[in-house]
């Protein structure tokens, strides 16, 4: 049958084609392949991609790559005299050189790293001695470099070498045996888009291992650059104010909702983690008792103290417990059963309305409010402003803080909620914990008349205009928010206000101070607010660990910060 014939032809024809092909490869080209095989003339060189740069809003470089000259060697090409010679030239013990030569490599005949980042003059020395160093060469690569050193170090983070587990699991086209990955901060969170794609070359070499030609090549694709909303110059100057303190300052641009500064002190220099040979400095940083690696702006939570009175006030207004005109009396203390809760003004403030109570930060007024509110009410409004939960922000450590209520207390302390707890809660103590950035958001939402604010750190990529989701509001009426705004104005601008040390003479500021008890040490110093009062442009928070009264320590820093901001973005008149 005809079709069977066709099948027969295909089968035996196919076998014949194979036979012919094999004849060609084995008999005709045999000697050529034999030579290539014997001399292992094909080498694989993986090529790492350039990591994307990170810019601030004014295109200043926060992270970039600098050129590094590495000494590499292909162990199969190296001869015995090379070891002592290299040891002498590079000032490394010979045993160490042998160790590095025998480290595991990604491919046979791939180069092994002997010494990274050698100084320029050593490069010339080595090049001169090339005939005596077969198998050794200089490779040009890029080392991550952070030009601003300690500025914004928590934010940018650093990169580190891949470990065994990751190497086994991650795809080979992006992660090689010696690849570096982001370990902290933006470097880690945006690692996938910063790192690009690896490339590689298949090269032919001669019997001495010298390059003959490229057989095939795949170009590495560099990573994408990233732009942050930060103003590095601004941040740097703020960080100078915080030297020797354990503190954090955060400033948010209200129109774009981008963070202008997110400073935490003390800080560290990430270059120490990416440049070779700084192990002593690294250990110093990790063992430093002042914990420079902690991001105090987002990753640590503290009792907010009197700042929280803003929330209590809004809860009271919304629940109808008081109106803005209601007057309550402060005798200097508040009695709950046998316990006495003190106001900081021992002689008492006398009769106050809400505006005055906030302006002077009267505790007794707020104890009275606390007595009339359930802890769940206060907790509800706290959570409306995002307290007690993490934010969507590209930072490495984000603490949710803690907003307590009855259920929480019973679960975690096995004691019931006491009435006294509500009183402490109302003035921002008790179990309440907030991070500086959460407090910042509180001020920002107030500044925006109750519209929810989502701070961000990274500028959206040009061209991809994200559909801004419909703006949500917190469950507080605009009228009540305006009451709080007015009260915060008085805190700074009135002569009876607790925050008057922050006052500047070129425009009006609204804020709230906080002095959070933190026994046995000094209280924490807080201040948060927005500026200018009419048509606010920024919101800010200043926090100093154990810094003392908010109206003194934090207020001074607020004053300097606003002046600084004004010199860059404002009228320029100090």
Partner 1 sequence: MARAWHRDTYWPFVISFAGLLGLGLLFVHSASHYDPAHYEMRQLFWVAVSLFFFAAAFLLGYRTFLGFSRLFYGVIILMLLYVLVASKARLGAQRWLEIGPLALQPSEFAKLAVLLFLADYLGGRPIFEKEQATFFGAAVVAGIPILLILKQPDLGTALVLAAMVIAMLFYWGLKYRYFIFSILGFVLTAPLIWAGLKDYQRNRIMVFLNPERDPLGAGYTAIQSKIAIGSGGLLGKGFLQGTQTQLKFVPEHHTDFIFCVFGEEMGFWGAAVLLSCYGILFYSILRILEHTTDVKARLLAVGLLAMLFSQVFINIGMSFGLMPITGITLPLFSYGGSSLVSTALGLGMVLSIHKERSIF
Give the range of 1-9, 86-94, 390-398, 447-455 binding partner 1 by CB under 8 A.
1-9
Q: 44: which strand partners?
A: 202
Helix (H) or strand (E) holding 46: strand 42-47
Under the criterion CB under 8 A, does residue 212 sit at the interface with partner 1? no
Q: Which of 3, 165, 213, 289 binds partner 1 (CB under 8 A)?
A: 3
Residues that contact partner 1, how many (by CB under 8 A): 42
The closest of 312, 332, 524 to 426, measured between CA atoms, is: 312
Q: Which of 95, 202, 290, 571 binds partner 1 (CB under 8 A)?
A: 202
Q: Are 279 and 302 in contact (CB under 8 A)?
A: no
Under the criterion CB under 8 A, does residue 169 sit at the interface with partner 1? yes
Closest separation in Å from C-beta 141 to partner 1: 17
The closest of 258, 266, 260 to 239, measured between CA atoms, is: 266
Q: Which is nearer to partner 1, 16 or 129 (CB)?
A: 16
Distance (Å) of CA 213 to CA 133, 201, 204, 223, 470:
21, 10, 5, 28, 59
Closest separation in Å from C-beta 77 to partner 1: 16
Under the criterion CB under 8 A, does residue 216 sit at the interface with partner 1? yes
Q: Which of 135, 157, 196, 200 binds partner 1 (CB under 8 A)?
A: 200
Under the criterion CB under 8 A, does residue 224 sit at the interface with partner 1? no
Closest separation in Å from C-beta 570 to partner 1: 47
Lay out the site mask for partner 1 across 309-348 (x = CB under 8 A, - = otherwise): ----------------------------------------
Give the range of 149-157, 199-207, 268-276, 516-524 binding partner 1 by CB under 8 A.
199-207
> Where would I find the H helices in 157-276?
164-169, 185-189, 191-195, 232-241, 271-274
Q: Which of 7, 9, 129, 207 binds partner 1 (CB under 8 A)?
A: 7
Q: Tell me the residue length of the chain.
A: 574
Under the criterion CB under 8 A, does residue 6 sit at the interface with partner 1? yes
Q: Which of 215, 243, 407, 461 binds partner 1 (CB under 8 A)?
A: 215
Q: Which is nearer to partner 1, 18 or 475 (CB)?
A: 18
Q: Are 450 and 484 in contact (CB under 8 A)?
A: no
Under the criterion CB under 8 A, does residue 537 sit at the interface with partner 1? no
* Rounded Cα distance, 472 and 43, in Å: 59
User: Given the structure tokens 């002095």, which residue do they identify?
Assistant: 515
Give the range of 213-221, 385-393, 482-490, 503-511 binding partner 1 by CB under 8 A.
213-221
Under the criterion CB under 8 A, does residue 218 sit at the interface with partner 1? yes
* Rounded Cα distance, 546 and 543, in Å: 9
419-426 and 363-371 helices, crossing angle to 10°: 130
Give the range of 197-205, 304-312, 345-353, 554-562 binding partner 1 by CB under 8 A.
197-205
* Rounded Cα distance, 536 and 453, in Å: 14
Lay out the site mask for partner 1 across 452-481 (x = CB under 8 A, - = otherwise): ------------------------------
The closest of 355, 543, 316, 530 to 443, measured between CA atoms, is: 530
Closest separation in Å from C-beta 138 to partner 1: 22
Under the criterion CB under 8 A, does residue 31 sit at the interface with partner 1? yes
Under the criterion CB under 8 A, does residue 276 sit at the interface with partner 1? no
Q: Which residues contact 45 (CB under 8 A, 6 or more apart)?
A: 110, 111, 200, 201, 203
Q: Which of 18, 67, 407, 568 binds partner 1 (CB under 8 A)?
A: 18
Under the criterion CB under 8 A, does residue 30 sit at the interface with partner 1? yes
Give the range of 15-23, 368-376, 522-530, 539-547 binding partner 1 by CB under 8 A.
15-23
* Rounded Cα distance, 155 and 236, in Å: 13
Find how far residue 277's CA is from the centre of its chain.
25
Return the residues of window 33-62 that contact partner 1 according to CB under 8 A.
33-34, 36-38, 42, 44, 46
Distance from the first to the final alpha carbon of the chain: 102
Q: Are 169 and 89 in contact (CB under 8 A)?
A: no
Give the range of 23-31, 320-328, 350-358, 360-368 binding partner 1 by CB under 8 A.
23-31
Burial class for 92, CB neighbours closer than 10 Å (0-12, 13-18, 19+): middle
The closest of 514, 562, 153 to 311, measured between CA atoms, is: 514
Under the criterion CB under 8 A, does residue 12 sit at the interface with partner 1? yes
Closest separation in Å from C-beta 105 to partner 1: 13
Closest separation in Å from C-beta 108 to partner 1: 7
Q: Which is nearer to partner 1, 198 or 245 (CB)?
A: 198
* Rounded Cα distance, 251 and 261, in Å: 5
* Rounded Cα distance, 435 and 400, in Å: 8
The closest of 146, 188, 143, 141 to 60, measured between CA atoms, is: 146
* Rounded Cα distance, 93 and 84, in Å: 8
Lay out the site mask for partner 1 across 172-191 (x = CB under 8 A, - = otherwise): x-------------------
Under the criterion CB under 8 A, does residue 164 sit at the interface with partner 1? no
* Rounded Cα distance, 308 and 427, in Å: 6
Closest separation in Å from C-beta 16 to partner 1: 9
Distance (Å) of CA 35 to CA 59, 92, 206, 214, 503:
54, 37, 11, 18, 84
Residues that bind partner 1 (CB under 8 A): 3-4, 6-8, 10-12, 14-15, 17-19, 21-23, 25-27, 29-34, 36-38, 42, 44, 46, 107-108, 169, 172, 200-202, 215-218
């Amino acid at each position: 049958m005809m079709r069977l014939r066709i099948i027969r032809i295909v089968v035996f024809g196919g076998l014949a084609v194979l036979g012919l092909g094999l004849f060609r490869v084995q008999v005709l080209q045999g000697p050529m392949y034999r030579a290539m095989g014997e001399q292992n003339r094909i080498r694989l060189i993986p090529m790492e991609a350039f990591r994307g740069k990170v810019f601030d809003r004014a295109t200043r470089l926060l992270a970039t790559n600098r050129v590094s000259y590495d000494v590499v060697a292909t162990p199969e090409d190296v001869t015995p005299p090379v070891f002592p010679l290299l040891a002498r030239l590079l000032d490394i013990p010979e045993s160490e050189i042998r160790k590095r030569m025998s480290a595991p490599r990604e491919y046979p005949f791939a180069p092994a790293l002997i010494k990274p980042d050698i100084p320029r003059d050593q490069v010339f020395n080595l090049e001169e001695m090339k005939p005596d160093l077969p198998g050794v060469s200089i490779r040009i690569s890029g080392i991550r470099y952070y030009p601003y050193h300690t500025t914004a170090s928590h934010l940018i983070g650093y990169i580190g070498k891949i470990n065994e587990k990751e190497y086994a699991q991650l795809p080979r086209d992006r992660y090689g045996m010696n690849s570096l990955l982001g370990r902290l901060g933006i470097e880690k969170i945006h690692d996938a888009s910063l790192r690009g794609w690896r490339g590689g070359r298949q090269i032919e070499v001669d019997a001495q291992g010298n390059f003959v030609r490229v057989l095939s090549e795949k170009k590495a694709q560099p990573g994408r650059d990233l732009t942050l909303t930060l103003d590095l110059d601004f941040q740097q100057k703020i960080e100078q104010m915080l030297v020797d303190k354990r503190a954090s300052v955060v400033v948010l641009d209200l129109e774009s909702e981008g963070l202008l500064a997110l400073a935490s002190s003390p800080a560290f220099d990430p270059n120490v983690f990416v440049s070779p040979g700084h192990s002593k400095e690294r250990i110093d940083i990790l063992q430093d008792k002042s914990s420079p690696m902690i991001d105090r702006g987002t990753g640590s939570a503290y009792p907010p103290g009197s700042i929280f009175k803003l929330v209590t006030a809004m809860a009271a207004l919304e629940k109808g417990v008081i109106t803005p005109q209601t007057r309550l009396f402060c005798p200097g203390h508040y009695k709950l059963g046998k316990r006495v809760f003190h106001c900081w003004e021992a002689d008492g403030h006398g009769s106050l309305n809400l505006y005055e109570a906030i302006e002077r930060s009267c505790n007794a007024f707020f104890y009275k409010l606390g007595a009339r509110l359930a802890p769940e009410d206060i907790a509800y409004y706290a959570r409306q402003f995002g307290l007690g939960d993490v934010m969507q922000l590209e930072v490495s450590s984000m603490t949710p803080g803690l907003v307590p209520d009855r259920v929480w207390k019973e679960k975690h302390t096995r004691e019931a909620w006491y009435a006294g707890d509500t009183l402490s809660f109302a003035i921002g103590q008790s179990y309440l914990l907030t991070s500086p950035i959460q407090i910042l958001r509180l001020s920002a939402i107030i500044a925006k008349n109750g519209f929810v604010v989502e701070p961000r750190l990274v500028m959206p990529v040009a061209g991809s205009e994200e559909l801004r989701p419909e703006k949500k509001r917190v469950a507080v009426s605009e009228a009540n928010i305006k009451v709080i705004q007015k009260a915060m104005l008085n805190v700074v601008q009135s002569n009876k206000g607790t925050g008057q040390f922050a006052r500047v003479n070129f425009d009006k500021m609204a804020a709230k101070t906080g002095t959070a008890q933190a026994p046995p040490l000094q209280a924490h110093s807080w201040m948060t607010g927005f500026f200018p009062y009419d048509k606010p442009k920024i919101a800010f928070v200043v926090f100093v660990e154990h810094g003392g009264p908010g109206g003194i320590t934090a207020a001074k820093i607020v004053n300097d910060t606003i002046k600084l901001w004004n010199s860059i973005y404002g009228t320029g008149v100090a």
